[in-house]
Amino acid sequence: MTQTIERETTTQGPQERVDQWLAEFEAALAARDVEAAAGLFAVDSYWRDLVSFTWNITTVEGRDGVADLLRAQLEQADPRGFATTEPPTEADGVTEAWIEFRTATGTAKGHLRLKDEGAWTLLTSLRELTGFEESQGTSRPQGVSHELSKGRTSWKEEREAEEADLGYGTQPYVVVIGGGQGGIALGARLRQLGVPTLVLDKHDRPGDQWRSRYKSLCLHDPVWYDHLPYLPFPANWPVFAPKDKVGDWLEMYTRVMEVPYWSRSTVRSATFDEAAGVWSVTVDRDGESVELRPTQLVFATGMSGKANVPTFEGQDVFVGEQQHSSQHPGPEAYAGKKVVVIGSNNSAFDICGALWENDADVTMVQRSSTHIVKSASLMEHGLGDLYSERALAAGVTTDKADMIFASLPYRIMHEFQIPAYEKMAEVDAEFYERLEAAGFDHDWGDDGSGLFMKYLRRGSGYYIDVGAAELVADGKVKLAHGQVARLTEHSVVLEDGTELEADLVVYATGYGSMNGWVADLIDQATADRVGKVWGLGSDTTKDPGPWEGEQRNMWKPTQVPQLWFHGGNLHQSRHYSLYLALQLKARYEEIPTPVYRLQEVHHLG
């Protein structure tokens, strides 16, 4: 029977209300009374679990969803010890609480929003595996044994021996393909958890993923949003760090966190050895061919995946240069040249801006509408409550901000986002008027929910303005519209017949799904089995339904056993690397990990 427990809401304060809910929830769970537990949720309710109950990243909705999850997972999760970790608060009829609890395998934290009717949102997240806690603080390593012994080795000798052996004598349990912020953050967590791991990257040094980009690139997200695990940026770190400074930080971080990392190492192929249950990964390590045999394989090749290079008639006759935005070397060589940039998202704007600064004659070709927000406005109205000095002063630490963010169910997240973008439209009205007067086709997302929902749904369709939109608004960067029909020897011709002279054509045409890398390195069949990576199934532009409720294939089991995806921006690399690392650690320690509701594949890529 699904029932609603009566509560004396009139006489209770927030602490009492939450304590009572938690006690009733725990009692129902202890009694394995799934219906009673589900009845503690509101009719419209959302329970998001990050690994703690489900060994998956999943959101269930409503009492039926809760009941379904519990029927499948309650026995193995065996949760108990629910308690608040600080006094709950109440506003607008919603009581909010930070909670902790234990499961059969670990300790967990969570966040609860209660309405009169019951739980409206519940976030539960696994934080540590019992018996496999990280060595930090009081349990940090000693670093030196205080008993001398014959033949004792030093830290340096041990590190050198380990490095020489890993991948040859000893096989890593996890291989991570790609050593940008995603691979590095995951590598650091797995190192802390004692999981033998090897991060592979094609560049010369960690951080070259950033250093090799165009010279004016800075992070578009602010410092408070960008910390890596364990070692936050210092208080003097710039709000928007220049790419070479980010590169230096990643290199330093890799070294001091002792992330096992092979630079100059390109994966040539990977196949799954069904009999042995391990992957066979062929790596070109600075010219040497090495065969790795990891149990788990993680793609951290950049959530943008593989470059989309469009095919146009005449590309073979065009006599100038053509390059995808990811290959653009920066503006230095193009002073006085005519450049046509196809596309109008982040990369297009950044490249157009830098080319204009270096005296190129630049035309941007807008093929479809784009969402633009001014960086300062996004910081103030979009992120400021969670990631800013203001948030820190209000006690919202990075970890807390990550958890608040994670506590908002994707199904209703757009509702929280829309007012922020309405505010930005208001404060920057004059800017948008000028931009549209210049002919720019601007949008706010299908439902007006703005940049972050576009990022989560499709990973494209926007630009955070750090100056280049002003160049378009006042005509310094020229604007053309429509699809490309063909290239000639010296120009780009649009479908409406407009002809744009060009010495250089930059295809700022975005990226495909990350499973493109799977097709390249494993095979197309495996890529198809995995399906599309990224997106929520929101049935909005470039994010077809059905509704998934979580990012497709990210940080959670896929349809291909022992194959995982990791990535995203620095925030996601930081926060979700925890849950992926715990899933990998559990498998390494052979802890049972029954997965609830393994996602289905609805789209190939």
Give the residues lining the site for its own copies (CB under 8 A): 134-138, 140-152, 154-157, 159, 192, 215-216, 218-219, 223, 230-231, 234-242, 244-245, 248-249, 251-252, 255-257, 353, 356-359, 374-376, 389, 392, 465-468, 470-471
Return the residue matching tokens 């004598």: 169
Least Cβ distance, residue 386 to its own copies (angstroms): 16
Least Cβ distance, residue 570 to its own copies (angstroms): 14
Within 135-283, where are the H helices?
155-165, 181-192, 208-211, 243-256
Closer residue to its own copies (CB): 363 or 551: 363
Closer residue to its own copies (CB): 145 or 311: 145
CA 301 – CA 282 distance, rounded (Å): 16
Closer residue to its own copies (CB): 242 or 310: 242
CA 66 – CA 47 distance, rounded (Å): 7
**Three-state DSSP class for 249?**
helix
Closer residue to its own copies (CB): 239 or 418: 239
C-alpha distances out from residue 77 to 45, 80, 82, 123, Å: 21, 9, 13, 15
Least Cβ distance, residue 291 to its own copies (angstroms): 30
Least Cβ distance, residue 477 to its own copies (angstroms): 9
* Residue 553 near residue 531 (C-beta atoms within 8 A): yes
- From the list 509, 500, 468, 439, the residue with the least C-alpha distance to 352 is 468
Q: What is the DSSP code string of 542-566?
A: TB-SS--SS-TTBSS--SSTTEEE-
Least Cβ distance, residue 217 to its own copies (angstroms): 8
Q: Per DSSP, what are the bridge partners of residue 198? A: 175
CB-facing half-sphere around the CA of 230: CA atoms within 13 A: 24
Q: What is the 3-state secondary structure (H, E, C) of 27-60?
A: HHHHCCCHHHHHHCEEEEEEEEEECCCCCCEEEE
Closer residue to its own copies (CB): 144 or 275: 144
Closer residue to its own copies (CB): 231 or 333: 231
Least Cβ distance, residue 136 to its own copies (angstroms): 4
Least Cβ distance, residue 150 to its own copies (angstroms): 6
Within 57-170, where are the H helices?
62-77, 155-165
Closer residue to its own copies (CB): 260 or 305: 260
CA 344 – CA 507 distance, rounded (Å): 10
Closer residue to its own copies (CB): 132 or 240: 240
Closer residue to its own copies (CB): 358 or 558: 358
Least Cβ distance, residue 223 to its own copies (angstroms): 7
Closer residue to its own copies (CB): 99 or 473: 473
Which stretches of 327-483 are assigned E, i.e. beta strand?
338-342, 361-366, 371-374, 462-465, 478-481
CA 35 – CA 233 distance, rounded (Å): 46
Least Cβ distance, residue 350 to its own copies (angstroms): 10
Q: What is the DSSP letter of 384?
A: T
Closer residue to its own copies (CB): 488 or 569: 569
Does residue 196 have a cis peptide bond before it, meaning omega lies within 30 degrees of 0? no
- From the list 139, 279, 131, 232, the residue with the least C-alpha distance to 585 is 131
CA 534 – CA 538 distance, rounded (Å): 11
∠ at Cα 555 (223, 388), nearest 5°?
A: 20
* Residue 421 near residue 265 (C-beta atoms within 8 A): no
Closer residue to its own copies (CB): 19 or 248: 248
Least Cβ distance, residue 434 to its own copies (angstroms): 15
Least Cβ distance, residue 232 to its own copies (angstroms): 9
Least Cβ distance, residue 247 to its own copies (angstroms): 9
